[in-house]
Structure 1
């Protein structure tokens, strides 16, 4: 009995000294993860303008405006992909101010799977408009399995002409793209591995293992690394600055770009305290960014459409050198639109898209 009593005391002491601190560490880690994901935020919806829902476009994950006010929209039914239905994605043309010809499907028939993600356009000196599309041709947006490519098209007002497909082993999880001419581009990898299990660990441990690649027309190379879920990417008007949205890093990283070598040098990171996504730039050089204020809620929304995910839009303006202003233009609980990923602006029109909704928002402000 005495020996048993000693054993119980030893076990109790062991539990107090070892197990209890371990549980405290685990609990603290869980709370920190939830807090970092924005789950404790209070969402107070606001927007000074008016929005209408444009039906018939599923999963408008990325949207970009051409110089004439025409918008191109990346669309894919990702919930069907999850359920096993292989429905091809598409690119839509949308003209906000044309009541007779607003929405038009531009896609030609392709011999490969087409599941578009990020898009970018470039207008050449001869007037030709090139469209680059990140394509998950045999996987889908949230799968680590399958193949990825960049598809290059020429935009012809009422059609797209497919030029070529580009693939490379370094594109392990491509997300967004920005063309710098008709042959060259930068593209982000939103994970540092193609393993689904390791991708999950990256996300929950907030590991900065992502990168950005440059394609010179022949080959790829890494030009930025150590990023926390590298997502949206864009470039300023004169090509001297490149912007990368880090969703899990909750910041916008700004790089100077050598126009001769296309190498990047990190300048600064601007904190947003939100899971920022795609980056669009208006005619005044302001950045417009779709964002996820509650990242874990967005993850739950991915699996269950009945769970609403808040939507958020930021405007970032650079007033003077080393001086910027962040304005939260739009915030909603997810009732109007869940899981906003992009806000494209032309004059007084904002088009807000998302990953899963079966419509996008056409807003005036």
Structure 2
């Protein structure tokens, strides 16, 4: 009887594990094949071979790119090199990526940049806020951009307890499986938040006190990462992972693919969703962001290369 009970429990445990593995495979689109959609005018960006996880483009056309992220469970092609912030001027006919120098007094050796956001004050000074994971901890680094010198001056490191104590943070929206990339509409009235696990985008209305009310949920059927808005059209561009299991269990012989979606008429009853780029990993692996500027598209990845396209 005891052995029977043990076998029964063992069988039930295997069944539960199997069920969760099946669910995980389904939620990560493990077996999904990628149908190629590749614009003709695309090229890999020289110098960005170790990731380009997030991209933020100023209204002037200057693009800031975070590179070199080392994340638990993800591969790194340069594990011993610190992360960097790159700059591209999209006004140039043939823009190139340039690594920005960072001022002394900042621990550059442990720089592990993740998400990146920019802010322009009334004096037109540009500030960068970069999520950093030094020694696998979490901080936010504030930099001032010196345009003439093409360099960054480190101003401060934010180590507030709210970065790791979510119980003390004001909840402004709920209902996410795993909230990830967030962007604000050009008119500052709406927040777009990617729910990577649920494979959708939440559209939320922003109130003056920063409370948010949900307007709609747009289901994409793909693991969506970072979101950006086209400054010309208001369309949302999403860097996506078509087969997330390959991202989590990396095999260079069968790498994760990349996919970029464009969502038009976001606030309408039936937004138009189109695939603007898709590759099985032969060119670009693990796309995490897509950002556009006047007909030019930058596609970044978690740990791989970056792509520049003319639309």
TM-score bracket for the superposition, by shorter chain length: 0.7 to 0.9
Q: Aligned match of 1:54 in 34, 42, 45?
A: 45
Q: Distance in 2 between matches of 1:84 and 1:71?
A: 23
Q: Aligned match of 2:284 in 310, 330, 337?
A: 337
Partner of 1:111: 106
SS of the residue corresponding to residue 53 of structure 2 reads: strand
CA distance 1:87–1:230, change in 2 (3 Å): same
Q: Where do 5+ consecutive residues of structure 2 fail to align?
A: none
Q: Is the 8 A contact 2:68 2:78 kept in 1?
A: no
- State the Cα distance separating 1:153 from its structure 2 match: 1.7
Partner of 1:363: 309
Are 1:132 and 2:124 matched, yes or no?
Answer: no
Report the structure number with the largest CA radius of gyration: 1
Q: Is the 8 A contact 2:242 2:258 kept in 1?
A: yes
Partner of 2:58: 66
Partner of 1:161: 153
Q: Distance in 2 between matches of 1:15 and 1:231?
A: 41
- State the Cα distance separating 1:93 from its structure 2 match: 0.7
Q: Distance in 1 between matches of 2:124 and 2:281?
A: 40
- State the Cα distance separating 1:15 from its structure 2 match: 9.1
Q: Is the 8 A contact 1:81 1:87 kept in 2?
A: no
Whose relative contact order is higher, 1 or 2, with alpha carbons under 8 Å and at least 6 apart? 2
Q: Is the 8 A contact 1:311 1:333 kept in 2?
A: yes
Could you say what the CA RMSD is over the residues aligned between the two structures, in angstroms? 3.0
Partner of 1:205: none
SS of the residue corresponding to residue 73 of structure 1 reads: strand
Partner of 1:315: 262
CA distance 1:320–1:265, change in 2 (3 Å): closer
SS of the residue corresponding to residue 101 of structure 2 reads: coil
Q: Is the 8 A contact 1:130 1:152 kept in 2?
A: yes
Q: Distance in 1 between matches of 2:39 and 2:261?
A: 13
Aligned length: 302
Partner of 1:300: 249
Q: Distance in 1 between matches of 2:229 and 2:298?
A: 13
Q: Where do 5+ consecutive residues of structure 1 fail to align?
A: 1-6, 140-146, 173-192, 194-210, 214-218
Deviations 1:113-149 (A, max 9, x none): 321111111222321222111111221xxxxxxx211
Q: Distance in 2 between matches of 1:332 and 1:85?
A: 25
CA distance 1:125–1:294, change in 2 (3 Å): same
SS of the residue corresponding to residue 228 of structure 1 reads: coil
Q: Distance in 2 between matches of 1:133 and 1:107?
A: 15
CA distance 1:286–1:136, change in 2 (3 Å): same
- State the Cα distance separating 1:67 from its structure 2 match: 0.9
Q: Distance in 2 between matches of 1:360 and 1:82?
A: 15
Partner of 1:185: none
Q: Aligned match of 1:327 in 274, 293, 296?
A: 274
Moved more, 230-239 or 26-35: 26-35
TM-score, length-normalised on structure 2? 0.85
